[in-house]
Amino acid sequence: MGSVNNASLPVTGAASFSPILRPRRIRRTSAIREMVQETRLTAADLIAPLFVKEGDGAPEPVGSMPGVCRLSLDALVAECRELVALGIHGIALFPVTPPALKNPRGSEALNPECLVLRAVRALKAAVPQLMIFTDIALDPYTNHGHDGVLTPTGDDVDNDATVAILAEMAVLHAAAGTDFVAPSDMMDGRVAALRSALDGAAYPHVGILAYSAKFASAYYGPFREAVGSAAAAGTSLLDKRTYQLNPANRREAIADALLDEAEGADLLMVKPAGPYLDILRELRDASSLPLAAYQVSGEYAQIHAAAERGWLDLRKTRDESLLAIRRAGADLILTYFAKSFAADLRRG
């Protein structure tokens, strides 16, 4: 028997119109809507990005990111205890390196007592059940703000020299106790190099969350303010197009991500999330690995800015934006809304 098409049914007047297919039947009550909901989001699906700073002072607000602060080690530990109590299982840690410790090679990244490694050790001692993802890139440590060391001419990032440093960096992070190293640099071959270095140093259990489809996006400005890479370069508009993806290229993004999978990545990431849901969806179809998506600082800031002007509802827009990322295929979402979403979920 063929399918029924409402459009083919005779209509002699509004009173006599009675469609057989009524999709609204499954939207009629909140109970029905909840029963048939296809996509769900929980606190366990979220990873909270956090900024750690030197010293023991009060949390330092990031001006362009309402509600986000740079935290001292003590405050970081307290914050992570709260996150775990709310059901959030993971954080992504980013250090705010003092300007005096930055140089063209990002040498502080290889200091065994650098800020991020001390933070990892403190967190593992205080909140051992928390999963820690640490950033593997040189932009928090270089005085030019790029993700690697520059070529002799200074007009590009030296891919292979950078990868060698990142491999050393990953081993230091593993020794400190991180659960996943997260290369965000977009250098060619870095996942294979990190995997080889970790395995060779007896850290085969440490995972790799690869920033696999990271675009040269205009949405990163507030993050660069938060970690100070923008100040190092004198601008928030760093040109990273020789290593980050062209926002116009879909096929290239999928190819890069699948290359990371072949090199041994455990998790793949799309960044930013919201403007690149099509990439996330296509990667979900192309790979069976767990996928992460990073709702970046600019996405967070623009939602807050519009809400502050009364142009939209903050909570509803926050939740819709996160649900869309999850629906597109993300298993995990890095978001600065993690704590507020989890707290509201707990309150009901």
Torsion over CA: 104, 187, 184, 236 (sign): positive
Encoded tokens for 109: 């990244």
Helix residue ranges, H only, 201-286: 221-227, 229-233, 250-263, 277-286
pLDDT of res. 261: 98
Model confidence pLDDT, tens digit, residues 79-121: 999 999 999 999 999 999 999 999 999 999 999 999 999 999 9
Q: What does the alpha-carbon distance between residue 45 and residue 28 come to, in Å, rounded to a whole number?
A: 29
Q: Which of 53, 240, 271, 339 is catalytic?
A: 271
- pLDDT tens digits for 17-47? 788 999 999 999 999 999 999 999 999 999 9
CA 181 – CA 111 distance, rounded (Å) = 16
Q: Is 214 a catalytic residue?
A: yes
Decide: 262 and 187 in contact? Cβ < 8 Å: no
What are the tens digits of pLDDT across the range 163-183?
999 999 999 999 999 999 999
d(CA 42, CA 77): 23
Q: Does domain 40-347 have CATH number 3.40.50.1820?
A: no
Task: Name the active-site residue from 53, 214, 240, 339.
Answer: 214
Q: Is this prediction's pTM over 0.75?
A: yes
What are the tens digits of pLDDT across the range 184-222? 999 999 999 999 999 999 999 999 999 999 999 999 999
Q: Quick one: pLDDT at residue 13?
A: 53
Radius of gyration of the chain (CA): 22
Known catalytic residue: 271?
yes
All structural domains of the chain with their residue ranges: 40-347
Looking at the chain, list the stretches that DSSP marks H as alpha helix, in order from N- to C-terminal side.
30-35, 73-85, 115-126, 159-176, 190-200, 221-227, 229-233, 250-263, 277-286, 297-308, 314-328, 338-347
